Structure 1
Amino acid sequence: MKKVLILAYYYPPLGMGGVQRATKFAKYLPVWKPIVISVKGVEYYSYDESLLKDISNIKIVRTGSLDPLRIAFIFRRIFRRKKNIVNRIYREGRLKRFYNTISRWIFIPDSKLLWIPFAVLKSLKIIKKENISIIFTTSPPNSSHIAGLFLKWLSKVKWVADFRDYWSPDRVINFPTPFHKFFNDFIKRKIIKNADHIIGVSLGIIDEAKGYYKKDDSDYSVIMNGFDADDFPENITKKRDNKFYIIHSGTFNYLRNPGNFLSGLELAVIENPDLRNDALFLHIGISIDFDLKSEAEKRGIDDIIVEKGYINHKECIKLLLNGNLLLLVQSDFCSSGMIPAKIFEYLASNIPILAVVPDGEAADLIRRFNRGTICENKNIEKVKNSVLFYYNEWKKNKPEKTLETPLKIPEELKKYSRKSLANDLKNIFDKIVK
């Protein structure tokens, strides 16, 4: 059996959406045997031990690192601090500004640069010992691809670079000097040039990669994110509690700011006061640089907002399936190829989606499967009307008793199952290593 070495900094027991892709590839990859290189314990926003069950039979080798998240983890253990330092940094403005300034000036392309020597040294030993046939690196962090570049040069093993996000879109990252931008772009060109294959989660990301270095089109592939049927229960239980649930799962931040949705919800409550008693907006996840409670209080709707915080992935999906309307938000300055990974779980749920997003690939997916309503960010009136429309539909059709129905994932979505996507990855590996 051929072996693939997967370099993934973000990996269980870390939580949140960034760990899902590499985890599910390792879980479902057919024919190939994965060995994973990741980092030892780090400070992070949230953890999800339940994801380890997906990879209980996968060999995971964890290395040291000198990056800030690893140092913060060690510091907390030595001094026996209970509070999560990462969450504290994002709550305290001065600490956050200081950390961001240091990161922008010193760490190119990102602060995980200090993981590279540990990952490379350990990987070289494993490549030799396990007779690795291919190296697979996934970003963020972009530093994982620099590790892949060094491994390609030093071991001559074939290398596939996987981009879960844009490298550094200018409209999101402000470089402190022209040199920082030049050096950042230089690194990316080297990576695109030397990787044997480039994978992106969207057409937009692949188009950006092609702009950095001209290669044959066959050297690029899109493998989108997806859903794992194993994470969904066999049956959906819809409780009769006379509540119209609007649910968002994931992180609110500067890229996914729900302010315009909240303004639309405020107008909907003003127009139909029954919503105040009947509706509940449930946020499953965390907020970074956005105070949901404060923003809801400003609009006078804090009494219909519930923040659940981060919960494990399967429990999150179980809660999601009790929703009547699922919320998807993206800020206007998001690049058109940014597709939140949660969208595939939303689509698989068969629950209507209210997407407050700019035009792009995420909106295209919802249109293609006819799964909901798309509102431009500035069209708060349409957000209001959409909330009222789905609320009135719920009132007409709400169950008289608790119902349990089998979950039916539409046939046309099966190609986005994690198992199917892992097979797509296997086909790329087979093509590269004949």
Structure 2
Amino acid sequence: MRKVLVITYYWPPAGGPGVQRWLKFVKYFRDYGIEPIVYIPENPHYPLLDRTLVDEVPNDLTIYRHKIFEPYGISKIISGKKTKRISSGVISPKNQSILERLMLWVRGNLFIPDARKFWIGPSVKFLKKVLEEDHIETIITTGPPHSMHLIGLELKKRYKLQWVADFRDPWTNIGYHKKLKLTSYAKKRHKKLEENVLNNADKIVVTSKTTKQEFEQITSKPLKVITNGYDFTAFKESVLDAKFTISHIGSMLTGRNPINLWKVLSELSNEHEDFKQSLQLNFIGVVGGNILNSIQKYGLGEHINVLGYISHEDAVKYQQKSQILLLVEIDSQETTGIIPGKLFEYLWARRPILGIGPSNWEVAEMVSETESGDVFGYDAHSELKDVILNWFQAYKNNSLSVSSTNIKKYSRRDLTRQLAEYI
């Protein structure tokens, strides 16, 4: 078995798709001749928790932990709610308090590349013994937080090893980067660090073709697209909701507000009494206040069902029994290559996917290729309305379904095989 050290900030009991990506790779590595060793913080600040994921960690997995100092711990004392929003990526440009604006400025300009930067030096020292005693020749860093890549950069300078940098999201080209109130110096610093990582890593992994194309303008190092995926061995039929449920699984943050969708649903409710009586909007996860306000504005308040954050296991159940699965991305050029992790479980759930996102969104091609639903731009109206009405008619006839073809390539096991071969 070839030993590989995985350096990651997010690990169970943390919740979210970033955790699942590396939990699943670690789960299947041994099937492809790799013995994983994991390095994580001992006392992390996780904005979301899902303790059910702990059960999926292999019992005999070697895990090294080391203490981390995080400024979020201090700021939490000042304003816990605002700190949790910012650390989880909930950045709203509207109605920000002076404290929020200050916290964002500090986050973007003093904590470069992020607030986990204070773990870099201690980790490099701690891992010296680990690398030597475990005879590790390959390390993998996964970000964000991108400070994990700076740990890899420092280890690469000191030791003869192969370094694979996994980018679950872009760095300087991610949507929220512009909201961090960066000075010109901070922008240049972020860009320089990104270039250093991309040009010193031996191999780079990204989750979308768009990010690959962007990074190819910066580096000539090997780049491979390995998406997120689903981890289910056999499909089980579920009893579908009696209501015409449109469910969004996961955080629906500020900026992801498909006004035209609420307008279409309002029109259909006014035009068809049976549609009005059947419609239910499920939100499983954090929902922005502006989104709920917009839904209320279009007279759909009585149809809202907000469940908040639930375990991954329970989220999967909602995916399987929902009539329609809603997928929404921010309408901007920077998000065309963002492929939400939930997409792959949506595919496996075999329920119609209703996507709303930017022009040339990479997701649209994937949904079309798998015949799993329809994706629209933010300006869509009549065509969006026609599709939803057709789906509603199929729902009334108990025939609402999709093919979800050609999805095996997105299984976590097959994706791990691809990664193992690349390493």
Q: TM-score, normalised by structure 1?
A: 0.87
Distance 1:83 1:168, change over 3 A: closer
Consecutive unaligned residues in structure 2, runs of 5 or more: none
Residue 110 (structure 1) aligned to one of 96, 114, 123? 114
* Structure 1 residue 171 displacement after superposition: 5.7
Deviations 1:156-177 (Å, cap 9, x if unpaired)?
2110001111112176423623
* Structure 1 residue 145 displacement after superposition: 0.6
1:66 to 2:69 alignment? yes
Consecutive unaligned residues in structure 1, runs of 5 or more: 400-407, 430-434
Amino acid at match of 2:52: S
Residue 37 (structure 2) aligned to one of 29, 35, 39? 35
Counterpart of 1:86 in structure 2 is 84
- More deviation in 243-252 or 34-43? 34-43
Residue 199 (structure 1) aligned to one of 205, 213, 227? 205
Alignment RMSD (CA, Å): 2.6
* Structure 1 residue 331 displacement after superposition: 1.8
Amino acid at match of 1:387: I
Whole-angstrom distance in 2 between the partners of 1:397 and 1:292: 30
1:125 to 2:119 alignment? no
Q: Which has the higher contact order (CA 8 A, sep 6+)?
A: 1
* Structure 1 residue 319 displacement after superposition: 1.4
Whole-angstrom distance in 2 between the partners of 1:170 and 1:356: 18
Counterpart of 1:276 in structure 2 is 276
The 5 Å alignment of 1:352-367 reads 352-358=352-358, 359-367=360-368
Tell me, yes or no, if the aligned pair for 2:268 and 2:276 is still in contact at 8 Å: no
Tell me, yes or no, if the aligned pair for 2:250 and 2:342 is still in contact at 8 Å: yes
* Structure 1 residue 179 displacement after superposition: 2.1
* Structure 1 residue 291 displacement after superposition: 4.0
Deviations 1:338-396 (Å, cap 9, x if unpaired)?
11111111111111111111222111101111111121111133333322221111012
* Structure 1 residue 7 displacement after superposition: 0.8
Whole-angstrom distance in 2 between the partners of 1:355 and 1:367: 11
Counterpart of 1:403 in structure 2 is none
Amino acid at match of 2:305: V
Amino acid at match of 1:68: P
Q: Identical aligned pairs, as a percentage?
A: 31
Distance 1:332 1:12, change over 3 A: same
* Structure 1 residue 41 displacement after superposition: 3.4
Tell me, yes or no, if the aligned pair for 2:371 and 2:404 is still in contact at 8 Å: no
Tell me, yes or no, if the aligned pair for 1:37 and 1:119 is still in contact at 8 Å: no
Counterpart of 1:160 in structure 2 is 164
Amino acid at match of 1:222: V
Amino acid at match of 2:253: N
Counterpart of 2:219 in structure 1 is 213
The alignment partner of 1:34 has SS state of strand
Tell me, yes or no, if the aligned pair for 1:286 and 1:310 is still in contact at 8 Å: yes
* Structure 1 residue 11 displacement after superposition: 1.4
Tell me, yes or no, if the aligned pair for 2:256 and 2:331 is still in contact at 8 Å: no
Whole-angstrom distance in 1 between the partners of 2:123 and 2:189: 22
The 5 Å alignment of 1:127-276 reads 127-169=131-173, 172-174=176-178, 176-215=182-221, 219-229=222-232, 234-239=235-240, 242-254=242-254, 256-276=256-276
Tell me, yes or no, if the aligned pair for 2:82 and 2:100 is still in contact at 8 Å: no
Q: TM-score, normalised by structure 2?
A: 0.89
